[in-house]
Structure 1
Amino acid sequence: MKRWLRPITSIVAALVAVTACGGGTPSAGGTTQPSAAAQDTELIFYSGGDTNVQDLHQKQIIPAFEKATGIKVTFTFLEHGTGAQGIYDRIKAQKDAGKTQWDIDLWESDTGYYTRPDDLFLQVSPTDIPNLSKVPKPTLDFVQNKAVPYRGSSVVLAYNSDKVANPPQTYDDLLTWIKANPGKFAYNEPSTGGSGDAFVIAMLYKYSDYNKYVTQPFSASNEKDWDAAFAALKALAPSLYSNGVYPKGNAGTLDLLNRGE
């Protein structure tokens, strides 16, 4: 029997943010003057993530938005976020070239892209989006009001209750369990799915200060804490599935569980 253990507190996936970018005539300070023709008829939206995010957009959010507004959404999905740097470079190149019309209106990606110093993204406020007043201020401060959180993600521990009678309840308990049960745990390669990404980030938090990452923009000074975390991940690898094989995506990890491996 497969069961799902609710999130371990220190392994909570960060909010994925959506931000308005080009889609109009760029002006100073990274803001845009919307192009009426483009804004009123079509929205060009790029997103990335695992297949659950793709389904959320294609089956729920986009159809509801198109029905409510009459605006057609042209949607491009980059599975597992592959190509995100290329999208950022494309947006920056259009700004640097002085383009009067950008070809991406909305982009969903890692929050780190929105706070880079290139000033590519539109800052928004409750005047633009009334419900933004309901978002905790530290969340918006973290992305300098250049992104809008629209969903939350929780990482869960999937396990076979026929084989695991007492699943670990904390991250430290999980690490102990992995070492005591070599070959019986897997997490996906971090760039291919949120659960693997969260597992690695939780290790960074274990050897650093959680508050430095969630209450302020990223600082390179945090990286001094990472060596110990990466060393711990490397030491853990021989105890993982097949001596350190990392499945592709969340689905790949669940496939192993479903096959009884």
Structure 2
Amino acid sequence: MKNWKKMLVLGTTLAVTTGIFAACGESSASEATSSEPTKVTLWAGGSDNVKLGMQKIVEAFNKSSDGKEYKLNLQFITSGTGTQSLSDRIVAAKKANQKKTDYDLILVSDAEYSAYVQEGGADIFEKYDQDKIPNLKNVQTKISAGEGVLVPYRGTTVVLAYDSAKVKTPPTTAEALYQWIKDHPGKFAYNTPGSGGAGGSFVQTAIYNFLPEEAMNSSDEKWKSQWEKGFDLLADLNDSMYQSGGKVVYPNKNQGTLDLLVNGEVDMIPAWADMLITNLANGTLPDTVKMTQLNPGFTGNVDTLAIPSIGSNKKGAEAVMNFMLTKEAQQILLDSMAAIPVIDSSNLSSDNSKYLKDLKIDSFRTASIGNLGTELNEEWDQKIGTLTK
């Protein structure tokens, strides 16, 4: 009986002791796990120059002090590939009431903000905690919409790119450009508006130049009734556009028109300033290619960061937002994609700076027309795209 009691006490002691060791082991494992950086996923879309810039940002963030707490990953959707757009994915997930997804942070222009809200509701994005983004105090750029939700990280605009060896005196106004196109048939191209923002800006500018300036930042359906003059202009220009095989061709994607300029098949195109500068800097474009701004100019935008409400790591997203406003990140964006800085650029220098110096930032035009942008592109497909068939 005594031996049985001793065995019981010994077994109980061993069990308790083992439990303590196990608990300690679990605690240590938990501490080890919690010390690992938590994942933050940044979703972006656009052209290859944007992808390159974001890849460099990811590398720099993960090497920074914030990288010890958060690990940044990039998911990129290349424009014009026919895959579901980022906005469609976010809105669909929101409407499906998905929670804790990996849509932690996204790139979105201030021009796209109203479309997101229109489709996904006012709560599609989280408001950021300003105290978590102290570098906001350095921002000098204004956004057209989304105050308290959107954090600007770069500016950009569409410009007129031309081969100066062939075009000695480029147009300076929209009217002069349209006349130049008619006078030089086959020497101008713009991409389909749904496949890239440069072509989209050309189309939108041609249409909205006939409308009051307020229409540029309105999603009111009433403006659709005033699109007719602009579409008539685009139809009138159709026969003077770039041709291949005896037929008018509207290239696919921003890169499509840029390739035509590189190959000398056209003399002039609308192009994103940052994309153009990146190609000039790496030698892809001949140094005879120049850029100029029209009056009134093509539309551009301020590119921003936003936190979808369906994400799972708001704190990590805010850390990335704050990093994007550092001198280091702004320098990376200037070097890799000729992004126009949103902070004081006097301390930033780059080979790309020489191209940016002639851009008049105060003359940039922004547009935020919500879902009207999609409807406008669809109407272009029906009214202009079909003229080539």
Indicate the TM-score class for this superposition, using the shorter chain for normalisation. Answer: 0.7 to 0.9
Q: Which has the larger radius of gyration?
A: 2
Residues 185 and 211 (structure 1 numbering): CA distance in 2 closer, same or farther, change over 3 Å?
A: same
Question: Paired residue for 2:130, among 121, 126, 132?
Answer: 126
Give the match for residue 207 of structure 1.
210
Shift of 1:200: 1.2
Residue in structure 1 matched with residue 192 of structure 2 by the alignment: 189
> Which residue is equivalent to 2:72?
73
Distance 1:192-1:88 versus aligned 2 partners, 3 A rule: same
Aligned with residue 249 of structure 1, among 253, 256, 259: 253
| Partner residue of 1:52 out of 49, 52, 55 | 49
Distance in 2 (CA, whole Å) between partners of 1:91 and 1:43 is 18
Aligned partner letter, 1:224: S
Letter in 1 for 2:55: Q
Q: 1:30 — aligned with what?
A: none
Partner residue of 2:150 out of 140, 147, 152: 147
Q: Is the 8 A contact 2:208 2:215 kept in 1?
A: no
Residues 117, 124 of structure 2: 8 Å contact kept: no
- Give the 3-state SS of the residue equivalent to 1:102 in structure 2: coil
Report the counterpart of residue 230 of structure 2 in structure 1.
229
| More moved, 227-236 vs 116-125 | 116-125
Measured at CA, do residues 256 and 121 of structure 1 come closer, stay the same or move farther in structure 2, by a change above 3 Å?
Answer: same
Go from structure 1 to structure 2 and tell me whether the alpha carbon gap of 1:237 and 1:128 turns closer, same or farther (over 3 Å shift): farther
- Any idea what the Cα deviations from partners look like across 1:95-117, whole Å, max 9, x if unmatched? x25x3x22210122433343325
- Going from structure 1 to structure 2, the CA distance change for 1:258 and 1:212 (only over 3 Å counts) comes to same
Count of aligned residue pairs for this structure pair: 216
Which of 176, 179, 186 is residue 182 of structure 2 equivalent to?
Answer: 179
Measure, in 2, the Cα distance between the counterparts of 1:130 and 1:179: 52
* Alignment of 1:63 onto 2:62: no
Q: Which runs of 5+ in 2 are unaligned?
A: 1-33, 266-389
Partner of 1:19: none
Shift of 1:196: 1.0
CA contact (8 A) 1:178 1:184 kept: yes
* Partner Cα separation in structure 1 for residue 181 and residue 59 of structure 2: 43
> Please, what TM-score do these two structures have when normalized by structure 1?
0.73
- Checking the alignment, whether the CA contact within 8 Å between 1:42 and 1:74 is kept in structure 2 is yes
Q: What is the CA–CA distance in structure 1 between the aligned matches of 2:173 and 2:129, rounded to whole Å?
A: 37
- How far apart, in 2, do the equivalents of 1:115 and 1:173 lie? 37
Counterpart for residue 163 of structure 1: 166
When residues 91 and 177 of structure 1 are mapped into structure 2, their CA distance, relative to the original with a 3 A threshold, is same
Q: Percent identity?
A: 38
Q: What RMSD in Å do the two structures reach over aligned CA positions?
A: 2.5
Partner SS, residue 152 of structure 2: strand
